[in-house]
Amino acid sequence: MKDYYEDLWSRLQRPLVAPDLELRRAFLLAELRAGDRVLDLGCGEATFAQLAADAGAGAVVAADVAQAALDRAAAAHPELVLRLVPFDGPLPFDDCAFDLVWASEVIEHVADTARWLSEVRRALAPRGRLLLTTPSHGRLRLLAGGIERYCEPLGDHLHLYTAGSLRSLLREFGFGPVTVRAAAGPPLARRLLLARAQR
């Protein structure tokens, strides 16, 4: 899978236009506190890591599984701390290292969700916050578009989430309180989930 993401990031358009950028930006900024130690996990070009740094985070680390993504991030934001993380191994961060972990459009790509969430929780300080965004796959969206539209056989989306399934998953891994809301699009066919979970 690592080779897949290296190839993907080497081919993506420049600059990359992030979907629902303003909505995701507002979600991050509403939760960010001055001085927070922030990990942008699955940072891509590090747009959100730079946003957190500009908004007053105490320290920001932008991490990704693809060196090609980090190369693009370094070119766009040379002052950021960038870290390559393994696709399927432990995160190379100390216990309780971050007050906030931002993982936007990432969890649906993770092969071993249990290990990933355990590692995220380990890296969060007590009462630290995990902010996730991921596509919403409620019944109406699947009925209208079919599962093939959202989960191509050779695509990189490995998991589909509803608000309920994401909420249950985060609670199962010891996060609480957990809030998940759907956003973007018509009321019964929202396309994005915004989740906040506290360690």
Going residue by residue through the chain, which has 199 residues, state the pLDDT in tens, using 9 for 90 and above: 677 778 777 888 777 888 899 999 999 999 999 999 999 999 999 999 999 999 999 999 999 999 999 999 999 999 999 999 998 889 999 999 999 999 999 999 898 999 999 999 999 999 999 999 999 866 554 445 555 555 555 455 566 899 999 999 999 999 999 999 999 988 877 899 999 999 9
Q: For residue 28, how many other CB atoms are within 10 A of its CB?
A: 20
Whole-angstrom distance, CA of residue 125 vs CA of residue 100: 8
Q: Which domains does the chain have, with CATH numbers?
A: 2-198 (3.40.50.150)
φ, ψ for residue 41, nearest 5 deg: -95, 115
* Amino acid 45: pLDDT: 95
ω into 135 cis (within 30 of 0): no
Nearest CA among 7, 156, 2, 8 for reference residue 87: 2
Helices 163-172 and 113-123: crossing angle, nearest 10°? 60
* Amino acid 19: pLDDT: 86
* Amino acid 24: pLDDT: 97
Length in residues, the chain: 199
- Bridge pairing between strands 59-64 and 192-198: unpaired
* Amino acid 143: pLDDT: 47
